[in-house]
Amino acid sequence: MAKTIGLLTAGSDSPGVNAAIRGFGKAVSNLYDVELIGFRDGFSGLVENRTLDLLKEGRLSGILTQGGTILGTSRQVPDAMIEGEEYVDRTQEAIDTYHKNGLDALVCIGDKDSQLAAYKLSQAGLNIITMPRSAENDIPFTDKCIGFDSAREIATQAIDRLHTTANATHRIMIVELLGSCSGWLTLGAGLAAGADVILVPEIPYEFDVIIQAIQNRIDAGRNFSLVTVAEKARSRELVDFMEMAAQKKGGSLEEKERTFEKIENNYSAQTLLLAKRLGSAIGIDTHITILGSLVRGGTPTAADRLLGTQLAEWSVKMVMEGAFGRMACRKDGSMASVHLEQVAGKNKTVPLDHGWMRGAIQVGSCLGVEADLLSGVEE
């Protein structure tokens, strides 16, 4: 029976997405009577019905090793499209496009916010399947997200290069990495590059503990230090203040969380504050390097190409079997899927007893608190 499938890539960019597009297209091309429609620039292209034929001869050639996405991407979501200074719900237009193109299924390769948007379309009655992609690896119920391995490799190489500069100039080098809710990238790259201090959102850090750790290195004759910090890592004193302010304002749990988030947004530049505190306390020149979106670009690693291809092939299988409303994933090394309801709006944090946490402690990296304060982490 003939099928028409839609495919889009949405949310923040990450390497390996083209491998997934290629994998899906190649797997579909082996089937009879299947049309594959690509939507440009994420959910924006779905709402505006901007399409291209992905099975057109040559369209998928040579893209396996390319970063980015040939479909383009955007962070817009159907129920909150930006128009001027307002957010407009254009969900119905997305639904209309789905039916106008006669789609039997829509496959979305996207980040955490995109998973939530896809779930809402699934709730609206569309046949949706997703694939996880995130340089931060913050989508739950999958071992890894497309793009994480590449981002970690790029970050590790950058920290390696800064290591020689820090040694030569006798500086404290602070490297800020992506990590709004979880510290997978910062912890993974920091541990791989031998960072002396690793600060992640899961563990509010103590300035005094970090200062002492660096001072101990100086006392041992090491006149430089490498610090990796996630962009949303916060000090214990700031977290305590925000929690007190949210508690004082009162209201429901949801209202307190909104208050907490609002306060947090007013206290940006925490990495700059960290640098000033460390430089002032220790008396060593402190330098900040913000990698930001740098880790999202470039050639994907072999691991990300393999993961993208595997998830794509599995997603085609899900479409043909009618396993809709689910995200394709790799769990404990095997391909599987999970209900979007379990993924939407959720975050995957680093467990305090994770092997990387234990490894960091064992090799002497400072995590911003005394090691024995980490519940579940054995020294």
- The answer, as to whether pTM is greater than 0.75, is yes
In this prediction, residue 377 carries a pLDDT of 47
Q: What pLDDT is attached to residue 306? A: 97
Residue 198 is given by DSSP the state E
Amino acid at 112: K
Phi, psi for residue 194 in degrees, rounded to 5? 75, 35
Domain ranges of the chain: 3-146+300-343, 154-296+351-373
Nearest one of 23, 65, 35, 108 to 313, comparing CA atoms: 23
User: What's the fold here for domain 154-296+351-373?
Assistant: Rossmann fold (3.40.50)
- E strand or H helix at 129, and its extent? strand 128-132
Q: Could you check whether 3-146+300-343 and 154-296+351-373 share the same CATH topology?
A: yes
User: Which of 112, 101, 137, 135 has its CA nearest to residue 7?
Assistant: 101
**Contact call for residues 109 and 16 (beta carbons, < 8 A):** no
In this prediction, residue 99 carries a pLDDT of 98
40-55 pLDDT, tens digit each = 999 999 999 999 999 9
- 114, 167, 185, 188, 304 from 148: Cα distances, Å: 16, 28, 7, 10, 8
Structure confidence at residue 266 (pLDDT): 65
* pLDDT tens track, the chain, 379 positions: 689 999 999 999 999 999 999 999 999 998 878 999 999 999 999 999 999 999 988 899 999 999 999 999 999 999 999 988 899 999 999 999 999 999 999 999 999 999 999 999 999 999 999 999 999 999 999 999 999 999 999 999 999 999 999 999 999 999 999 998 899 999 999 999 999 999 999 999 999 999 999 999 999 999 999 999 999 999 998 888 887 877 777 667 666 667 767 766 666 678 999 999 999 999 999 999 999 999 999 999 999 999 999 999 999 999 999 999 999 999 999 999 999 999 999 999 999 999 999 999 999 999 999 987 674 544 3
pLDDT of residue 378: 44
CATH number attached to the domain at 3-146+300-343: 3.40.50.450
